[in-house]
Every structure is written in C-alpha cells, then in structure tokens.
Structure 1
C-alpha cells in the first residue's frame, strides 16, 4: 500500500480502504467468509494472486488475522476488531451509492446476486427438507447457467450441473430487475409479470422460491453481523 504522505485521517484510512477490491474483501469477511475460497466466491473477477496480496496487506494493517486451519490444508482469515469497526464505513458507502449511483447491467451480475442471497439473505427455516435443484439461466454475460442446490435445510450455488436433474428453472432476461428484487425495490410478482424473470416448475416450488429470500434488516442492530443490509451484501 502506497502512502499519500499526509497526516489527514482520511488520507491515512484511504491508504488501506481505497485499494481496489479491499472493500469487497472486507465485506465478505464481515459476512462470515473465513476461507480463501469463500472470500473468492464473493468477488468474481478477483484473481487469486491479487486476493492473496490483499489479504497479506490487511494482515499487516492489523485488520485480518491469518491462522492455519485446525484440520486440513490452508488458512482461516479472521477479521480483527479494527475490521469489525469498518461496518459503519461500509454502511455509509452503501447508503451513498443507493442514493447517488445507478444500478445498470454492468453491475447486475446474477452470480453476485445469488452469492449474496445464499450468504446473507437465505431463509433456511423455509427451505424444503428434500433435495431441490433450481437452475438459473442468465441471459447476459455469455448466457451462463448457475444452480441453487438445496438439501437438508441448507443451500449452495453451483457453477456446474450437480447432476440430480432440475426441479425448477428460472430464466433471467433482465438482470437489473433480478438485482432490484434482491435489493427489495421490486416485488417478485412484478418482475415475473413484466417478463424480466420467468420461472417454470411445480406450482408449490414456484410459489415457495421467492419466500426463501429474507427481508433486508436494519443496520441499527447491536451486532455488526446482524446489521447486514442489501446494499452492503450486494
């Protein structure tokens, strides 16, 4: 990290926070990501080499503690109290961006939306106990396909066909509308009615799918982990 050579706290803080990808890495850590692969999954486009470099920089800045895993290879990455204290900064940035920036197709990557959904907005209490596979056909960015794999009250995102057959298919023709639904500014029914999202499958699963998404929570809660808002986790 290069120094601005200024005494100003804004300049000193920017030396750490304003590095490319650092806010995203901090967000992922504060959302509970603890392994290298978990952090990387929430930062599509970030190379593994640069992620390694940024994590080491955060360790030197005393925002991250890196420890060997108790079992197996690799490391665990734990945010320090200094990192936890970044929540108000992230929330302020989120509020500013919601008011002053536009959400465009460039930002509306369904992969990132699904990651955020599963990581911080999944209503595990409403998930079916039986295995359910939901295929998402994303019509932008090379027409990618992703899968939501639900089993035993948990879920994960798969970038390859899990091989159990698709129970529900969701076609995303307007990724901005999908992101707006995730952010809470567009009802699911309106997105489906407009043709932005098309869902096929058994009626019970079609009706249940949007209920698996939890409502955004206020960041006025007492614990940072409970203070996640859609604008921060997106």
Structure 2
C-alpha cells in the first residue's frame, strides 16, 4: 500500500493494463481526475518502477505512458479485488472505462459455462478495438482487429456492462443506437452469459456502524 495506496494510483495502473496511452487518454478514462493529480501520480508510479514514459518517433512525436514488465504483473490484483468488490451488497452502477470493462470480462469469465462454446467476438469501443476468443473453456481478450470475428459489438462500453451484469436486453439498446451487433445475435447473447457475478455478501453480516 505504500507503493500504490495513493488515491487514483490503482485506477491509473488499470488504465494501462492493455497498453500504452497518452496523458489525455488516461484522463479520459478517469472522470473526476484532475490534470495536476494525474501528473503527480504518474511521477510517483514512475519513481516506483511501475510506469515508464517514452516518446513515440515521428510523425507521432507524442509522449506515452506504459506499465513496466513488473507493473504489468499487477493485473492479478485487479482480478482479486474485482471479484471481492463485486460481492458488495451496496454495489451500484457506475461509469466504467473501456479498460475496466475488458478487465472485468477477464475477471468474471466462467470456465464451466464456456466448456462447449467456441467463438471469436470483436469489440469496437470507438477507436479502441479488442478481440475475444473463447475456446476449450478459456478466454483470451486483447487489443486487436475485429475483422473476421464471428460477431462484432460496437458502441458504448457501459451499455455492454448493462447487458453483461445488469440483465439488459440487446434489442432496446440497438434501437436506441447505443450499441450495434454485426453477426449472429444468438451467439452474442450466449457470450453474455459467460460472466456471472459472484454471490453478494449478506447485508445482515456486515458490521454495524457506530453512532
């Protein structure tokens, strides 16, 4: 906690799990984070050896931030914390960045439900594209091209969250223009069932607040 306990630090690391980003891209995924605080946290994470920065060659010539090899090993922390936090009886819907949503699929994937399911699913969240492959009860999801996928989802990542974890139906979201699905909708509907949330903790077992 001395290394990553500052507010926003873990969320900044999470935003870099799937690859390098520019300063503005990190901030866009974390509403409420000021530029000054982001600068401070990035400097601290760089000093700790978790984040490194480099400048892309021309014609881009922009500075980007990325996790070090050791920093990337932190993904296991997000999976453990994510499953634990999903059991909160006080859990309420909130904005999730693209990185957070994709990481949640890695975290909540149920091997048993996917035993007889093989498919390639593409995701287009604006300029960020991912490719999910489910085969032999395993899930691989990484940044990549969506061409040739069995199904391609496009649209708002939080609309996807509403379907994955909130039980929202695809048709109304398509009608509203929030999402679009190219390919077999039944195959995509089956994919959405592979990510059950863990059983919530019982509120009665929570410690009482002191007056």
TM-score by length of 1: 0.49
Higher strand fraction (1 or 2):
2
Of 55, 77, 85, 2:73 maps to: 85
SS of the residue corresponding to residue 30 of structure 2 reads coil
> Is residue 2:168 matched to residue 1:188?
yes
| Conservation of the 8 A alpha-carbon contact between 1:31 and 1:120 | no
CA distance in 2, matches of 1:28, 1:62: 16
Q: Structure 1: which 5+ runs fail to align?
A: 1-13, 128-151, 158-174, 219-228
CA distance in 2, matches of 1:73, 1:206: 34
Distance 1:84 1:101, change over 3 A: farther
SS of the residue corresponding to residue 102 of structure 1 reads coil
| Conservation of the 8 A alpha-carbon contact between 2:14 and 2:99 | no
| Conservation of the 8 A alpha-carbon contact between 2:165 and 2:197 | no
CA distance in 2, matches of 1:92, 1:180: 19
* 1:16-73 Cα distance to aligned partner (Å, 9 max, x none): 2111001110001112242212211211111111111111111100011111221244
Match of 2:46 in 1: 59
| Conservation of the 8 A alpha-carbon contact between 1:33 and 1:39 | no
* 1:182-202 Cα distance to aligned partner (Å, 9 max, x none): 5x233332895xxxx68346x
Equivalent pairs counted in the alignment come to 154
TM-score by length of 2: 0.54
Distance 1:115 1:30, change over 3 A: closer
Q: Structure 2: which 5+ runs fail to align?
A: 106-120, 126-146, 199-211
SS of the residue corresponding to residue 2 of structure 2 reads helix
Match of 2:18 in 1: 31
Q: Equivalences for 1:189-204 in 2 at 5 Å?
A: 189=169, 192=172, 199-200=175-176
Q: Which runs of 4+ in 1 moved over 6 A?
A: 118-121, 152-157
CA RMSD of aligned residues (A): 4.5
Of 50, 55, 75, 2:37 maps to: 50
